């Protein structure tokens, strides 16, 4: 079977033996250095794993070997885990099983080596890299901001398959291992030490010396010990049964059965402390092989790749670094502006928040202090970082304090004349090189830039609410926005922990444009007689985090109505909106912020608003039969048809970027891989057939704009008739 592994060998793999170096710093001590010449950061690909096996075989015959330190080329450069692309290219479960066994076997050679083994690691230590360290007797970790260690495999639809599900519970106990593996978290150095993931911290410059001293017995490093808890919990069948019941209940409620990896890994972790290691490893390899070939794994890895590719947007088209922005101004201390400012300050940027009134500024500063204290209480901030995080956010009335900003992001009222006035004043106060960014969700970047000097510096930077939690930022390129500005803003988004997607300056950009028909169809379904909870249940059963009517309440019915008007002005009858929201607003219903919308929002519970039925149209008071499949198609086919139109217009560079925007911007289920990847799985011909059936239905024919909305997009027709895929549509450079 090892011959088959050669098919996974990187194309630029170096000659055998070049990836792992054996050093002999002193008698009795050997040092294994992961230093693959074909990678900036070591990856446990086939080339490196085979070289690691060769090195371990060579050391196993050394009778004078007392201690071994395994490390990376630099103290903060160990390894980025397994070669995800290679692993997920496998479609044969038998091959996946053998690959799992192979990785386990290499790490078992390390574990059984007759020497005291110390892993000296730092920087990123995820997944397979941590599993490699777990096979050693001790782990010494570099105490550095770049250090992140853990087992995130569940987030990719697989599980720790090279010993992690067995060795971590033995090291830190079942409850802590369940929490770490199911969450897929990567821990900073201090947190990793507290949890027992590692045995010792040291500064990066001392890493090799401390690890060598521990390996040779010159320095003590006691192993993390849970004491009696190992017997009271880890090896207690009753305790494990109670933990199993609770954890399964929580996982099923959270995943709704869409993610198989947590359900596969839970029994492995629970059984690990009382199962012989070789038996546990075989069960682990079998579970890994099932997950590795599953569609969920393929789709989650696809999203991971897309998010990694988005990091390249922080560079200029020629490959050079985009300008780094470190002084940020924000105008408007409402919910969005305050959220943007606090995220920027917490991420290390000097931030000035401005508003015309003092009261919203005081609220924003109070919320910022609360967020910093919360992070400090959770030990996400070191004591010396607390004051710095607070000091980095300054606030003041008016625009006077913004003159030193390298970028100013406006988040004022969504009215063109208000934003033009703000930008006009900023243009007079700021350097000509300072970037003017708008957080608008519906106005044109070109319209804002039209009357300004240096329009090349005007760009959209559209955040989503709530800003701290939502991962996407739409970077909107106007007709005259420069490449340097676009990529500087993308780099800023990355520094804020967000994922950027570059879009054209078109109404709704990409996310709100696709949400428009989806939310409108939901409102129309209710107006036609479908119950609120039925509409939302169909969406949530598909995997969306909340139903469309829940989402309308969260967004605010007034904001949703404003966005719908903007889309209708831009796209005509295809975006004709239901009159229901107008009737609800006239009745004083605004959604969650007003306490009532489609639901009544109490402090502790939410129930369907019983007064809604009276607001239905006359036709809606006569119960219509909408089978679940019809409800689903009204919601998803409307979104898909609009996506095909947006793709043909090159609103984003291609189908991959559109998928990323749908997952990170609207919560499209990651296990489906994004809207267009899901459409490809369904089949464009099937999609076309469903849209054609909807377009001919009486419900669509009888309403204004219905035929236009469900008129198949030309791109959809071409792809379907060619029996093609959306993901075969050629991507372009980022939209201009």
State the Cα angle at 699 between 693 and 701, rounded to 5°.
75
* Residue 193 CB neighbour total at 10 angstroms: 18
Q: Is 190 left (phi over 0), alpha (psi -120 to 50) or beta?
A: alpha
Run of H or E residues at 494:
helix 483-495
Quote the tokens at residue 650.
């090159």
Rounded-to-integer distance, Cα 715 and Cα 729, Å: 9
Report the side by side order of strands in the sheet with 29-34. 20-26, 29-34, 67-72, 116-121, 138-142, 200-202
Quote the tokens at residue 413.
């009222």
Q: Using DSSP, how many helices (H) and how many strands (E) does the chain show?
A: 32, 19
For 466, half-sphere exposure in the C-beta direction (CA atoms, 13 angstrom radius) is 5
Rounded-to-integer distance, Cα 254 and Cα 154, Å: 14
* Residue 170 CB neighbour total at 10 angstroms: 18
- β-strand pairing of 148-150 with 186-187: antiparallel
Catalytic residue numbers read 462
Quote the tokens at residue 446.
């070109």
Which of 496, 506, 495 minimizes the C-alpha distance to 470?
Answer: 496
User: String of b and e for 107-139 (b: at least 16 CB within 10 Å)?
Assistant: bbbbeebebbbbbbbbbbbbbbbbbbbbbbbbb
Angle between helices 675-682 and 684-695 (to 10 degrees): 90
Residue with tokens 């919910």: 335
Contact 337, 356 (CB under 8 A): no
Contacts within 8 Å (CB) and 24+ apart, 53-61: 53/106, 53/109, 54/16, 54/17, 54/20, 55/20, 55/22, 56/32, 56/106, 56/109, 56/110, 56/113, 57/109, 58/22, 59/22, 59/30, 59/32, 59/113, 59/115, 60/109, 60/113, 60/114
State the Cα angle at 91 between 87 and 97, rounded to 5°.
65
User: String of b and e for 462-491 (b: at least 16 CB within 10 Å)?
Assistant: bbbeebeebebbbbbbbebbbebbbbbbbb
Omega before residue 466 within 30° of 0, cis: yes
Q: Output the DSSP codes for 667-700.
A: ---GGGTSHHHHHHHH-HHHHHHHHHHHHTSHHH
Run of H or E residues at 108:
helix 93-112
Rounded-to-integer distance, Cα 32 and Cα 24, Å: 9
Quote the tokens at residue 609.
């608003």
CA distances, 15 to each of 4, 7, 99 (Å): 18, 16, 21
Quote the tokens at residue 723.
């029996």
Phi, psi values for residue 329, rounded to 5°:
-110, 145
Residue with tokens 């105008």: 331
Rounded-to-integer distance, Cα 3 and Cα 228, Å: 47
- Three-class DSSP category at 67: strand
């Amino acid at each position: 079977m090892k011959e088959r592994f050669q098919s996974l060998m990187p194309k630029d793999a170096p000659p055998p033996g070049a990836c792992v170096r054996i050093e002999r710093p002193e008698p009795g001590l050997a040092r294994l250095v992961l230093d693959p010449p074909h990678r900036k950061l070591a990856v446990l690909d086939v080339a490196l794993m085979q070289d690691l096996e060769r090195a371990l075989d060579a050391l196993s015959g050394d009778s004078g070997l007392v201690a071994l330190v395994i490390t990376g080329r630099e103290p903060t450069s160990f390894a980025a885990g397994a070669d995800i692309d290679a692993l997920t290219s496998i479609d044969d479960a038998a091959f996946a099983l053998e690959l799992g066994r192979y990785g386990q076997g290499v790490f078992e050679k390390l574990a059984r080596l007759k020497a005291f083994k110390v892993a000296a690691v730092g920087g990123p230590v995820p997944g397979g890299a941590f599993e490699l360290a777990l096979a050693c007797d001790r782990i010494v970790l570099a105490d550095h901001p770049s250090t992140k260690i853990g087992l995130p495999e569940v987030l990719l639809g697989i599980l720790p398959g090279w010993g992690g599900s067995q060795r971590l519970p033995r090291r830190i106990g079942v409850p802590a291992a369940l929490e770490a593996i199911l969450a897929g978290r990567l821990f900073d150095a201090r947190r990793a030490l507290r949890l027992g993931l590692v045995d010792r911290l040291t500064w990066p410059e001392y890493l090799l010396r401390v690890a060598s001293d521990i390996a040779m017995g010159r320095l003590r490093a006691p192993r993390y010990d849970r004491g009696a808890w190992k017997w009271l919990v880890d090896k207690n069948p009753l305790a494990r049964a109670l933990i199993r019941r609770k954890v399964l209940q929580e996982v099923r409620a959270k995943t709704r059965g869409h993610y198989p990896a947590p359900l596969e890994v839970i029994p492995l972790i629970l059984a690990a402390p009382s199962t012989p290691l070789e038996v546990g490893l075989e069960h682990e390899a079998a579970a890994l092989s099932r997950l590795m070939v599953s569609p969920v794994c393929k789709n989650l890895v696809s999203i991971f790749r897309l998010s990694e590719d988005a990091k390249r947007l922080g560079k200029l088209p020629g490959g050079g670094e985009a300008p780094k922005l470190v002084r940020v101004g924000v105008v408007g201390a409402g919910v969005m502006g305050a959220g943007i400012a606090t995220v920027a300050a917490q991420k290390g940027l000097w931030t000035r928040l401005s508003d015309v009134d003092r009261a919203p500024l005081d609220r924003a500063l109070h919320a910022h202090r609360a967020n910093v204290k919360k992070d400090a209480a959770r030990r996400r901030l070191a004591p010396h970082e607390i004051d710095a995080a607070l000091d980095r956010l300054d606030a003041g009335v008016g625009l006077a304090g913004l003159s030193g900003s390298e970028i100013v992001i406006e988040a004022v009222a969504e009215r063109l004349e208000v934003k033009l006035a703000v930008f006009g004043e900023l243009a007079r106060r700021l350097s000509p090189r300072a970037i003017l960014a708008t957080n608008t969700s519906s106005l044109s970047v070109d319209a804002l830039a039209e009357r300004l000097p240096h329009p090349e510096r005007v760009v959209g930077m559209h955040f989503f609410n709530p800003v701290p939690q939502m991962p996407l930022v739409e970077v909107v390129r106007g007709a005259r926005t420069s490449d340097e500005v676009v990529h500087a803003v993308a780099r800023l988004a990355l520094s804020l922990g967000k994922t950027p997607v570059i879009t054209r300056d078109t109404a709704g950009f990409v996310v709100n444009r696709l949400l428009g028909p989806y939310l409108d169809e939901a409102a129309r379904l209710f107006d036609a007689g479908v119950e609120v909870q039925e509409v939302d249940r169909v969406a949530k059963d598909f995997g969306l985090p909340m139903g469309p009517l829940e989402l309308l309440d969260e967004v605010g019915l007034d904001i949703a109505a404003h966005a719908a008007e903007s889309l209708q002005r831009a796209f005509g009858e295809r975006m004709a909106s239901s009159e229901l929201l107008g009737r609800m607003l006239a009745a004083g219903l605004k959604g969650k912020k007003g306490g009532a919308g489609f639901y009544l929002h109490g402090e502790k519970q939410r129930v369907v608003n019983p007064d809604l039925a009276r607001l239905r149209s006359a036709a809606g008071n006569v119960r219509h039969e909408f089978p679940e499949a019809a409800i689903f198609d009204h919601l998803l086919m409307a979104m898909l048809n609009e996506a095909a139109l947006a793709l043909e217009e090159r609103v984003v560079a291609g189908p991959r970027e559109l998928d990323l925007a749908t997952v990170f911007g609207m919560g499209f289920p990651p296990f489906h891989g994004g809207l267009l990847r899901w459409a490809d799985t369904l089949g464009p011909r099937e999609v076309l057939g469903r849209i054609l059936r909807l377009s001919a239905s009486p419900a669509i024919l009888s309403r204004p704009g219905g035929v236009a909305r469900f008129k198949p997009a030309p791109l959809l027709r071409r792809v379907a008739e060619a029996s093609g895929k959306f993901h075969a549509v050629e991507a372009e450079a980022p939209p201009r």
